Amino acid sequence: MNNAKKYISKKMKNTEFKQSLLEEKLKIDLEFMIDELNENIKNNKPKEELLISVSELKRAVAHS
């Protein structure tokens, strides 16, 4: 195991660090999903496809 992996493994044992990391990952994931939805709207994707994206966003927020 290299130094970076050892460091991350050690840091993940810290509850605050782990929580912060997971929150940031969720934030990035949500931003990506919103950007994707925005592009789909701009490109006039079918309504059903847009509604699926909205449902996925709702699910992601509900699990946060």
Instruction: Provide CB contacts within 8 A for 30, sequence distance 6+.
Output: 57, 60, 61
Q: What is the pLDDT of residues 9-47, one digit of tens each?
A: 899 999 999 999 999 999 999 999 999 999 999 999 999
Give this prediction's pTM.
Answer: 0.76
User: Domains of the chain: which residue ranges?
Assistant: 23-64
Q: Using alpha carbons, list the distances in angstroms from residue 59 to 4, 48, 52.
A: 33, 17, 11
Q: How confident is the model at residue 2 (pLDDT cuts 50, 70, 90)?
A: confident
* Cβ–Cβ < 8 Å for 32, 60: no
- C-alpha 26/C-alpha 46 separation (Å) is 27
